Structure 1
Amino acid sequence: MVLNNIEHLLEKYENGETSLKEEQQLKNYFSQETVAPHLEMYKPMFQYFVVNQKEQFTKQLPLKSKKVFNYKWLSIAAVAVLMVSIFITKPFNNEELMLTAAEKTEIKNAKEALAIMSKHLNQGTAQVNYLGAINKAGTQVDYLKEITNPMDRLFKNKK
């Protein structure tokens, strides 16, 4: 009678129609050492359920989530800032800026002052032109060293 009841419960279990009480009866039956030979294949499955029910998770779970910095949004923000800054600094119309007569004379005076300063600075460079001639003479002396030591040249070519 018990075996017929277990087979009936197994059939209901496979169809997904058992209650928790009936499943507990199946677990109890298959946890015994002696099981009907034709039902031996179900024993590991129900033993797994019993063992699995006793398992507990003991690891601590972090409750705070780590904030991940998204660099894609940073690049999008950088492009947006760049576009806004270009739009703001660019004049809204293509016309030249209107300068007053006083501003035009100030610009003219600044250009003249810079031209005078440039002229005086260029006069100072004329006094150091002889350094170029010294540099040229130094390279010629290096060539003379090559000529005076022909043995070194021969040994260099053999390597």
Structure 2
Amino acid sequence: MELHNIEKLIEKYFDATTTVAEEETLRTYFSGDEIAPHLEQHAPLFNYFKKAKEERFTKQVPLKPRKNYLKWVSVAAIAVFMVGLYFYQPTSVPETLADEYTPEEIESAKEALALLAMNFNKGTEQLNHLEEFEKTTNKFLTKNN
């Protein structure tokens, strides 16, 4: 095999433009004993591919999931549920607002709601003016058509 052809094939290989047959030629060349000294640096690469191709996975692959995992998850879920039930302390629901809030808090809330209602009514008054404007505009537009 000509050394010049091997150098061209190596350049093509690193440019990713070689064919399968050309790569096989490179593997054959680098698996031999007569490798040019300046090309010896590439020999481990091609020898690795040859060895990797022969490797096989020999361990058994489990096809079913392990049942123990599901058992332990269910046991843990039950344990968490039982701890939650043990520490659960129901609170009594207040029957009226006076049971839950002080009279000052209730008066403060009433004042806030009255202020909100007053401002809300101001906004609705503006909508009445808008409705009047719309009626007048519609009358004017229908007279012109």
TM tier, smaller: 0.3 to 0.5
Normalised to the residue count of structure 2, the TM-score between the two structures is 0.48
